[in-house]
């Protein structure tokens, strides 16, 4: 060791303490929530920035966007209303979009029951057979 510093400067540092405790967010009342949702529905800005259909489905069913876009019809059991998440869509520089048979973690490989809304969404899913939906256009 070169012994450039004779003492450890971190030894003398004290944690930074806030003078006041942070306050939590105040919950909205039912009337305030209704008012907010109404304003969001009628907002021109929100209309332009509205999430794509795939974003809505992933929010409702806990599916990551890359997993949602990698779904295959064979992953969907219409009779039971269940969906098996078994892969994800990735973009490889120089190659484009690829579907891989892996999820972010082992827990990501799962079968989930779908809400009726999600089943209806799958019936109008914006992809043709044997193509990968591009997340910038779906």
Inside any domain, residue 92: yes
- Indicate whether 53 belongs to any domain: yes
- 101 near 87, Cβ under 8 Å? yes
The CATH number assigned to the domain holding 106 equals: 1.10.443.10
In a domain, 76, yes or no: yes
Q: Is residue 16, in this structure, part of any structural domain at all?
A: no
Give the pLDDT score at 54: 45
4-24 CB burial, b ≥16 within 10 A, e <16: eeeeeeeeeeeeeeeeeeeee
Q: Can you give the pTM of this predicted structure?
A: 0.47
Q: Is residue 2 part of a domain?
A: no
For the chain, residues with pLDDT lower than 70 are 1-3, 22, 24-25, 46-61, 122-138
Number of domains in the chain: 1
Residue 26 lies inside a defined structural domain of this protein: no
Range of the domain at 65: 33-123
Start-to-end CA distance of the chain, whole Å, equals: 57
């Amino acid at each position: 060791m070169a012994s450039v510093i004779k003492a450890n400067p971190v030894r003398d540092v004290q944690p930074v303490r806030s003078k006041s405790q942070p306050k939590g967010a105040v919950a909205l009342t039912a009337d305030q929530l209704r008012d907010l949702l109404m304003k969001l529905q009628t907002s021109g800005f929100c209309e332009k920035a509205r999430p794509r259909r795939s974003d809505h489905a992933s929010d409702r069913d806990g599916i990551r966007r890359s997993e949602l876009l990698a779904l295959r019809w064979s992953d969907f059991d219409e009779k039971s209303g269940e969906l098996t998440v078994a892969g994800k869509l990735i973009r490889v520089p120089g190659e484009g979009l690829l579907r891989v048979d892996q999820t972010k973690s082992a827990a990501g490989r799962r079968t989930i029951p779908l809400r009726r809304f999600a089943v209806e969404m799958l019936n109008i899913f914006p992809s043709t057979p044997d193509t990968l939906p591009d997340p910038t256009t779906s």
